């Protein structure tokens, strides 16, 4: 894919916003739009790949490293914390020095962190290595969202984010399946070797990414922070997306133990269920592209938020009174699939008014979302440990209750965000 950096003769940012879907063709005339989306999706896929590939091995990691029940989930929390903290660094750097350079450095660090995970001699070392791995991977999350905001806006941005979900959706579908297959023939450490190779491929893919930052940001960091944090629309949709993502990661953190230990599935069978849910997420994200032709991103997100709450309530009921594989799997599928209608619309709505500081706003958004997810995934592990301490063998109720709380907060924030958006017009 041949690319070109926008020249001074090309449209300004304000003109580009008005052009909407034609921004990529006008701003980067020789850029293949479809190829750009594929590259952005491939880079973004690093995050779900790093989370999902080793999920079937969590019980094995606890056993081999001599950890107590629920302690392996600290490796998830460390990864989320690393993603949250590092984005605050990568965002201003991407605004100051462009998109490609920080992405290259970040992916290099990701590869090194993945190798450290594969060599970790203890759970503590694995947690630390996961934190380093996340710091590098955070660059991809920040840069991809900033690139989308550089060249698209409004419904077009939401539609492009949905397309990126289609590309990155292959990662959560295939990763647990591959992780489960690896465990049949090799150690869990081989999974992290595979992640290092994936990071190297993403690093090569950055060579196909155009430099979309046309001007260097001269806004002081404190000024940018004050402007972004003073924007009620940005804050409400940022945290709405954060709690939606928190619900997803509550499921990610809790589902291996719910399906494998509580309901008695094998790791490979669990991986199939996980892949089906991921396929639902991808399918609904593509349905979102069609819905955007007929409605606004904020209204679609609100409708999906209602479905999230209803699915979580159902999950609480079945885990409390009628637990079975099918009874748990159905509301989980509805919950995860509906997130495909929340994620892209919440991000696009949050970043809509932040074009002048897209990198910083993307970093703040990611930090808020992954901090929330980290705390929520830790809550699932803590709640599960308390349940076991009370004499229970462990159930799916901790995961279900945390997912319901996250969905309820998400819906509330979406409603508040829509009101803020209407009042600011």
pLDDT of 114 > 90? The answer is: yes
User: Two tokens at 280?
Assistant: 């639902």
Task: Check: CB of residue 172 under 8 Å from CB of residue 336.
Answer: no
Query: Region 9-13: what's the mean pLDDT?
Result: 36
* CA distance linking residue 162 with residue 164, whole number of Å: 5
Phi then psi for 402, rounded to 5 degrees?
Answer: -65, -40
What does the CA dihedral 242, 247, 253, 256 come to, rounded to 10 degrees?
-150
pLDDT in tens, 56-106: 788 888 888 877 666 777 888 888 788 778 888 888 888 888 888 889 999
Query: Region 25-54: what's the mean pLDDT?
Result: 68
Task: Check: CB of residue 18 under 8 Å from CB of residue 53.
Answer: no
Side-chain-side CA neighbours of 51 within 13 Å: the count stands at 34
- Nearest Cα neighbor of 357 from 96, 68, 72 is 96
Higher pLDDT, 361 or 413: 413
pLDDT of 312 > 90? The answer is: yes
pLDDT of 335 > 80? The answer is: yes
* H helix runs in 230-324, sequence order: 232-256, 267-291, 297-321
pLDDT in tens, 264-298: 888 888 888 888 888 898 888 888 888 888 888 88
Higher pLDDT, 424 or 65: 65
pLDDT at residue 19 in the model: 32
Domain range 21-423, CATH class: mainly alpha
Query: Region 340-347: what's the mean pLDDT?
Result: 86
pLDDT of 15 > 70? The answer is: no
pLDDT at residue 109 in the model: 94
pLDDT at residue 172 in the model: 60
Per domain, the residue ranges of the chain are: 21-423
């Amino acid at each position: 894919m041949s690319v070109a950096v926008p020249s001074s003769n090309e449209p300004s940012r304000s003109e580009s916003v008005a052009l909407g879907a034609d921004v990529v063709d006008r701003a980067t005339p020789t850029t293949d739009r479809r190829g750009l989306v594929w590259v952005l999706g491939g880079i973004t896929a690093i995050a779900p790949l790093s989370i999902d590939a080793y999920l079937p091995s969590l019980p094995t990691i606890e056993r081999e490293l001599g950890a107590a029940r629920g302690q392996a989930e600290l490796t998830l929390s460390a990864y989320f914390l690393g993603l949250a903290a590092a984005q605050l660094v990568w965002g201003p750097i991407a605004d100051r020095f462009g998109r490609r350079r920080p992405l290259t450095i970040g992916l290099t660090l990701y590869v090194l962190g993945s190798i450290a995970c594969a060599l970790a001699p203890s759970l503590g070392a694995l947690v630390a290595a996961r934190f380093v791995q996340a710091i590098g991977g955070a660059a991809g999350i920040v840069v991809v969202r900033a690139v989308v905001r550089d060249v698209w806006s409004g419904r077009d941005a939401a539609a492009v984010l949905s397309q990126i979900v289609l590309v990155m959706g292959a990662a959560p579908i295939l990763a647990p399946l591959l992780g489960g297959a690896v465990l049949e023939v090799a150690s869990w450490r081989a999974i992290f070797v595979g992640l290092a190779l994936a990071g190297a491929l993403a690093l090569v893919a950055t060579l196909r990414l155009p430099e979309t930052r046309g001007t260097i940001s001269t806004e002081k960091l404190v000024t940018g922070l004050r402007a972004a944090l003073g924007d009620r629309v940005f804050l409400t949709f940022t945290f709405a997306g954060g709690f939606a993502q928190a619900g997803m990661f509550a499921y990610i953190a809790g589902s291996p133990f719910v399906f494998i230990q509580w309901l008695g599935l094998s790791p490979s069978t669990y991986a199939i269920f996980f892949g089906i849910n991921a396929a639902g997420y991808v399918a609904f994200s593509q349905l979102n592209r069609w819905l955007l032709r007929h409605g606004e991103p904020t209204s679609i997100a609100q409708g999906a938020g209602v479905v999230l709450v209803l699915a979580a309530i159902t999950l609480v009921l079945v885990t409390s009174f009628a637990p079975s594989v099918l009874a748990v799997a159905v509301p989980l599928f509805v919950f995860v699939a509906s997130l495909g209608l929340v994620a892209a619309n919440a991000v696009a709505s949050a970043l809509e008014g932040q074009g002048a500081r897209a990198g910083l706003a993307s970093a703040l958004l990611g930090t808020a979302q992954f901090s929330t997810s980290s705390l929520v995934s830790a809550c699932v592990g803590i709640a599960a440990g308390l349940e076991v301490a009370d004499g229970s063998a462990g159930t799916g109720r901790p995961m279900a209750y945390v997912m319901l709380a996250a969905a309820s907060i998400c819906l509330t924030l979406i409603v508040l965000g829509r009101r803020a958006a209407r009042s600011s017009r």
